[in-house]
Structure 1
Amino acid sequence: MSESTALFPDPSRHPDWIQPHSEKWYARLASETDEYKYPWKSQFDEPTAESLFKEKIASLLTTDSRVLDVGCGHGEFTLQFVTKAKEVVGIDKRESFIATANRINTSENARFVTVDVDNGLPFPDNEFDLIYTKKGPWMFGGAGEGNRVIKPGGFALGLYHGGSDGGLRTLFNGLYQPSVSGNPLEAGIKQTYEDHQNQGLSEIDVQGIEEIEYLSTPEDVLIKKCFGQSKSVKKYVWETCLSGVEDIFDKNATTKGLSVINYHYMVTARVI
């Protein structure tokens, strides 16, 4: 769709816009909050991608399992496995996130460590039975040290966000960019599977997940878009977009809110 038909200005063209999930973006988020948590209000249809990922991890654990969460954020997800495993270790490069994780941790089975995975992992060989990442770094293949610190036959899991739609990009064209044509899940499953080949893994399985989320208010449409951005970007988006977003939201929202589809890809594999 051409720029002339866009209903809203593109926030990514603002001079202070930061590419989401870039190094600079994470640094800004960590400087403003001690948690990695979505700030917008919404509700979900079950099951969510996160609940399915949690169930998958739990199904592969025993009381003797040692687990590593790579990119654990503030540790809330990590701590769900302390009663199912012998030890759970969460790592993240952001000290403020790890500080929060250590503050909320009350289990002797869990520990959290500040680690920059680009500099390697501070763990001995064959230390873990299962390594997972929830939208964080993937530690297998290339320079990743996952193959070194996991036991042969251990499990590697990942959950990746593959974008959102469900009319969001059509209704708010410009604020959100139009989706590429075709089925995003089919294309994403194929690409994700190919990306995980030749990484010392076997039994690779990629599952596409459509997660239904309902944004609660028009402001939440903007908060979702501006997550992790500066005050100047947020001010610009609110001033130029809120009125139009309110009109479209009111015309299309259900009693639950505005329906959005979030696409995720869950990878499960075993280490050779």
Structure 2
Amino acid sequence: MDNVSFIEGNTINGFLFKPNEFDCAYIIKGPTSAYPYLKKVIKNGGMILGLHPGDQWGKELPILFPNLFNCSKGTPILDTIKHRLKNSNYSCHHIDVIKSLEFISSPIDVLKLRCFGQHPSIYEILKEKYLFEIAKIFKQNATADGLPITFSSYLVRAIV
């Protein structure tokens, strides 16, 4: 399609786009802070699609690995999304909760998941301290496909 182009932006540096410059926008994995900014750069009647991690993502992990993962309380991600959408005054918006089953392939992947976004030294410390225990729990609970966990996301559709 000749009339389609993709431009990447972020709210950290601010959007350097003109008002009503785009027909639609897509947010993946956040940030929710983009919703107020996108309202300004999307044309009237345009759509914003957002895909955000769900509050119930991996809800089994704190039960299986209480030393590594914390139980989440409430719905802080959903609450933040709702707050941003309300304050952005979109003409309408809808949030779908998508849940499916995901499989973690190995005990080391459990540890990598726990340490995602952290300094590599954290990974090494936790690996030394917990890998044996993680492997034991993994083996007890895994299927042939791996360790099943809940995968949840919020799919946001907003009309300017």
CA separation of 1:177/1:126 partners in 2, compared to 1, >3 Å: closer, same or farther?
same
Q: Is the 8 A contact 2:54 2:97 kept in 1?
A: no
What RMSD over aligned residues (CA atoms) do the two structures have, in Å?
2.3
Q: Is the 8 A contact 2:24 2:42 kept in 1?
A: yes
1:91 — aligned with what?
9
Helix, strand or coil at the partner of 1:147: helix
| Distance (whole Å) between structure 2 residues aligned to residue 212 and residue 178 of structure 1 | 19
How much has 1:135 moved relative to structure 2? 1.4
Q: Which has the higher contact order (CA 8 A, sep 6+)?
A: 2
How much has 1:86 moved relative to structure 2? 1.8
2:158 — aligned with what?
269
1:151 — aligned with what?
43
| Distance (whole Å) between structure 2 residues aligned to residue 155 and residue 90 of structure 1 | 16
- Structure 1: 5+ residue stretches without partners: 1-82, 93-116
1:234 — aligned with what?
123
Which AA in structure 1 matches 2:9? I
How much has 1:189 moved relative to structure 2? 5.0
How much has 1:227 moved relative to structure 2? 1.3
How much has 1:231 moved relative to structure 2? 2.3
Within 5 Å, give how 1:40-189 maps onto structure 2: 83=1, 86-92=4-10, 117-138=11-32, 139-141=34-36, 144=37, 146-163=38-55, 164-180=57-73
CA separation of 1:84/1:155 partners in 2, compared to 1, >3 Å: closer, same or farther?
farther
Indicate yes or no: 2:145 matched with 1:256: yes
Instruction: Name the count of aligned residue pairs.
Output: 158
CA separation of 1:207/1:86 partners in 2, compared to 1, >3 Å: closer, same or farther?
same
How much has 1:84 moved relative to structure 2? 8.7
1:50-103 Cα offsets, whole Å, 9 max, x none, are xxxxxxxxxxxxxxxxxxxxxxxxxxxxxxxxx5962211225xxxxxxxxxxx
Which AA in structure 2 matches 1:149? V
Which AA in structure 2 matches 1:161? P
CA separation of 1:232/1:132 partners in 2, compared to 1, >3 Å: closer, same or farther?
same
How much has 1:238 moved relative to structure 2? 0.3
Bigger Cα displacement from structure 2, 208-217 vs 132-141: 132-141
| Distance (whole Å) between structure 2 residues aligned to residue 228 and residue 254 of structure 1 | 27
CA separation of 1:217/1:84 partners in 2, compared to 1, >3 Å: closer, same or farther?
farther
| Distance (whole Å) between structure 1 residues aligned to residue 2 and residue 152 of structure 2 | 28
1:17-65 Cα offsets, whole Å, 9 max, x none, are xxxxxxxxxxxxxxxxxxxxxxxxxxxxxxxxxxxxxxxxxxxxxxxxx
- Structure 2: 5+ residue stretches without partners: none
| Distance (whole Å) between structure 1 residues aligned to residue 13 and residue 104 of structure 2 | 39
Q: TM-score scaled by structure 2?
A: 0.86
Identity of aligned residues (%): 33
1:216-266 Cα offsets, whole Å, 9 max, x none, are 111110011111222211111001100001111101100100001122111
1:125-144 Cα offsets, whole Å, 9 max, x none, are 21100012101334233xx2
CA separation of 1:84/1:171 partners in 2, compared to 1, >3 Å: closer, same or farther?
farther
| Distance (whole Å) between structure 1 residues aligned to residue 146 and residue 73 of structure 2 | 25
Aligned match of 1:216 in 89, 101, 105? 105
